[in-house]
Structure formats: structure tokens, C-alpha cells
Amino acid sequence: MKIFEKFLGVMCLILILSTSILLNNSFAQDKKDKKEKREKEKIIRVSAKIEVLMEGDYTQNSMKEKAIQAAKIQAMGDEFGYSIIQGINTQTKSVSGASVMTTTRLNEVSNTLVKGEWVSDDSGFPKTRFSIRDKGEKQEIWLECEVKGKARKIQETRVDFETFTYNCSEPQKCNTGQFKHQESMYLYFKTASKGYLSVFMLEDGMVHRLLPYSQMEDTYESVVPVDADKEYLLFSPKHRNYFADYPLVDEYEMQTQEDGSPVSNLVYVIFSTKPFAKPILTEKDNFKVIDLPKFQEWLNKNQGLDKNFQVKRLSVTVNK
């Protein structure tokens, strides 16, 4: 009987020790997981400078926005790494240490994917400045851009979605950012997960809201719902039954300047798995608009609050 009691006591001690070890291991793993999560969520300060040689036709406001986006991508890419590299690491450097690129390379870099997201700008940034430089007997126009702000590493895989502008009845055959004067612009959108969508376009320093459509103010004041794995052909009168009780579609005919000179715009396609509130808009020429600095502030705020708030920028050029 004493031997049995002694054996039982030993077994109890082993059980207690095993439970203690398991609890300690579980606690240690939980502590490690929380530490890794904190590291991933850590917001840090990043900065970058770029200089862009202006070539071809362009508008100053669209080039400024592209330069700001490219500089932010470089700042985050240098800190967190690149998901898709399009030559950004091979840029030459100026005497001041800024990356030097052409307008063509600027378009490539502004659409490069990085393993980070921009949270907010520092006060007084971004800074942009155009300058004229002598090169032999010629002169060149340069755009200098500097960004400083807060960013964080992307914590999780983002929702995959596909979007592009097009100009005919068959989206996959006429995917383009180049449009002729008075040609219609359509937008293709498809997402892997259901969520909420809004579309804006930058033109001459003002950002115009394109989606939700203008007559949707009551039901879809800020965003429209989109289903997973469903193709949306937006701004097309032939595809007007996506949203319940709203069969009317806003169509967009692209225009050059009055003198026929080209126009360069940016389309912002904004998606999240959660509903998000629109920025404060004003009425102008039958459009709801917001100036670019306030719009950028709104983007920064939402990207800081919602990790699934995603923005894709599409370059659009209109020629005669």
C-alpha cells in the first residue's frame, strides 16, 4: 500500500511538472507571437528624394502626384523590400543622394508593389519643385520631390483584385491607359473577396469622384458593394444592372485641353473588405470634387485605420 501511495505521488508530481512545462511553453509561444505581431505593426519613419527629368507631354499636377507616389514607394521599398521590382533599385543618384529617373521610369515605379504601406505624411511634406537646368546649349525641366512620413510593414496578404481602364466593348482586348479626344473610358474590376469600392480621378489639381454614380447618393453615399469573383464593367451603359434600384450609369468621355494639347490624369481605384466613409466633397460642374492635398490626407487616414484599405493608381493620357 505504501509503495502504491509512493508511486501515485511520483505520478502526480510528474503530471504537475508536465503541465507546468506545457503551460510555460504555451506562454512562451504566445509571448513570441505577440512580439512578432508588435514588430510587424511597428510604425517607423521613412523618407526619400527623387528627381525626374520631364520628357514628352504632361500636366504638372499629374506628374507631381506620380512623383510623390514613386518617392513613397522608394522610401518603403528601401525599408521593407519590394514585392515586384521594376528597376527601382538600379536608379542613378544625384549629388544630393536623390534617385534620378525619367517620366517613363516614373510611371513604372509609381505602380511598383512594396511590402509596406504609407500611414501618414510628416508636417510640411511632401515637397515638390520644378526647376530648369542647363545641359550644353539646351535646357531641361526637372521635378524634385521629397517625402517624409510614417509607414509600416504589411502584416498580411492583401485581397487580390484586378482593375484597368479600357476603351472598347471587349475589356481584355483593349486594356489601355491611352485615349483619343472624345473617346469613352471604361473601368474593369474584379476581386477575390467581396468588399466595397469607390473610384476617383485626378484632373488639373482637383480630384473628381466617379463612383458611386452621381444618382446613388441615398443608398450608396460613400461606396458600392462588390461581390467576389464577379466582373464589373463600369461606366458602360451596356452594363447597368450591378447595383439594385440604380440602372443609370455615369459615362465618361475623355477630353484634351481646349487648344488640343494632351491631358494626363490619374484614376484611383479604392477597395476594402470593410465599408469606408467618403471624404468631404463639394459640387463643381456636376461633379463631386475635393482638392488633392485633402484627398491625400483622407487616403493616408484610411490606410492608417484599415489594413485592407487598398488604392491602385492608373495612369490615363488623352491625345488628339
Give the DSSP per-residue string, the chain.
-HHHHHHHHHHHHHHHHHHHHHHHHHHHHHHHHHHHHHHHH-EEEEEEEEEEE--SS--HHHHHHHHHHHHHHHHHHHHH-BSS-SSGGG-EE-TTS-EEEEHHHHHHHTT--BSEEEEEEPTT-SEEEEEEEEETTEEEEEEEEEEEEEEEE--SPPPPEEEEEE-SS-GGG-B-SEEETT-EEEEEEEESS-EEEEEEEEETTEEEEEES-GGGTTT-SS-EEE-BT--EEET-TT---SSTT------EE----TTS--EEEEEEEEEESS--PPPP-EEETTEEEEEHHHHHHHHHHHHHH-TT-EEEEEEEEEE-
Task: Judge if pTM exceeds 0.75.
Answer: no
pLDDT band, residue 243 (cuts 50/70/90): confident
CA distance 91 to 52: 11
CA distance 263 to 203: 8
Q: What is the pLDDT of residue 235?
A: 96
Q: 62-100 burial, b if ≥16 CB within 10 A, otherwise e? A: bbbbbbbbbbbbbbbbbbbebeeebebeebeeeeeebbe
pLDDT (tens digit, 9 = 90+) per residue, 185-216? 999 999 999 999 999 999 887 899 999 998 88
Lowest pLDDT segment from 40-54, 176-190, 263-277 = 40-54
Stronger pLDDT, 15 or 242, i.e. the higher one: 242
Lowest pLDDT segment from 31-40, 42-51, 85-94 = 85-94
pLDDT (tens digit, 9 = 90+) per residue, 228-240? 999 999 999 999 8
Structural domain boundaries of the chain? Answer: 43-153, 161-319
pLDDT band, residue 89 (cuts 50/70/90): very low
Residues pairing with 162 in the sheet: 190
Q: What is the pLDDT of residue 143?
A: 93
